[in-house]
Amino acid sequence: MGKILIIYDSESDRRFTELAVPYVKEGVERIDGMEIRVKFVEDAETEDVFWADGIAIGCPTHLGGISWRMKKWWDDRTPEIWFKTDGKFAVPFTSAGSLGGGGELTCQSLSVMMMNMGYFVFGITDYVAKKESLHYGAVFAGEPRAEHAIEACRRAGQRLAEWVGYYMDGRRDLHPLDAKYQRFWELAD
Ligand SMILES: Cc1cc2nc3c(=O)[nH]c(=O)nc-3n(C[C@H](O)[C@H](O)[C@H](O)COP(=O)(O)O)c2cc1C
């Protein structure tokens, strides 16, 4: 049984990143048999990271990068965690003030941070609506309100669960190229 941790930071009064968490969780739940823990970053323990086969990691975009609270959490625990999480999977998501405001850079920074801990991070080729994708993670402006933004969050959680199921649990039917759902490649045109 795959184990997924959704760890997130959210700082503004409107808790936009937090509002994405249920959608990421719904995406994970599309794959049966996944155990899920959801933790606000300050409530997360190192043990949650060791427990999880895969992590969906989300934070607001701050100055084009990772929010300080999320960065500090991993900085503080690096000596404890490093060398012990190789081969797990991670996918990033972020709320930015605007599209073009650095959300993809934040996803890249989150990915690099997870790579530093030995995690596999992955691209997602799917389109979730016409001209809407999540190649480097789910990025949305404010809360994920539009259906494509909501689906991007779900798809990030789903793909994480698929890779965890495929590689960690040996569930051959979960490979995305064998997906039973429509992957909307035609929406790129
Ligand atoms: C210190 C700080 C830096 C920010 N930097 C950016 C930025 O570089 N690009 C951007 O689009 N939005 C930026 N924002 C806006 C937040 O990313 C945005 O309001 C987000 O939706 C907040 O998510 P939250 O409610 O989960 O905290 C910044 C906000 C703060 C407080």
Give start and end residues of each alpha helix (H) in 101-169: 103-116, 147-163
Determine whether the shortest distance from the Cβ of 16 to ligand 1 is under 6 A. Answer: yes
Global pTM value: 0.96
Cα distance between residue 74 and residue 79, in whole Å: 9
Nearest CA to ligand 1 atom 15: 97
The preferred substitution site among 24, 62, 70 for testing ligand 1, maximizing ligand atoms within 8 Å of CB, is: 62
Phi, psi of 4 (to 5 degrees): -120, 130
Determine the pLDDT at residue 178. Answer: 80
Residue 131 has pLDDT above 70, yes or no: yes
Which pair of tokens denotes residue 123?
């691209």
- Based on its alpha-carbon atoms, the radius of gyration of the chain, rounded to whole angstroms, reads 15
CA–centroid distance, 178 to ligand 1, in Å, is: 37
pLDDT in tens, 48-93: 999 999 999 999 999 999 999 999 999 999 999 999 999 999 999 9
Alpha helices (H) along the chain: 16-29, 46-51, 68-81, 103-116, 147-163
Q: Is the CB of 63 under 6 A from ligand 1?
A: yes
Tell me how far apart the alpha carbons of residues 188 and 117 are, in angstroms, rounded to a whole number: 33
Q: What are phi and psi of 29, to 5 degrees?
A: -70, -10
Query: What contacts 79, CB < 8 A, 6 or more positions away?
Result: none
Identify the structural domains of the chain with CATH numbers, from first to last. Answer: 3-188 (3.40.50.360)
pLDDT band with cut points at 50, 70 and 90 for residue 177 = confident
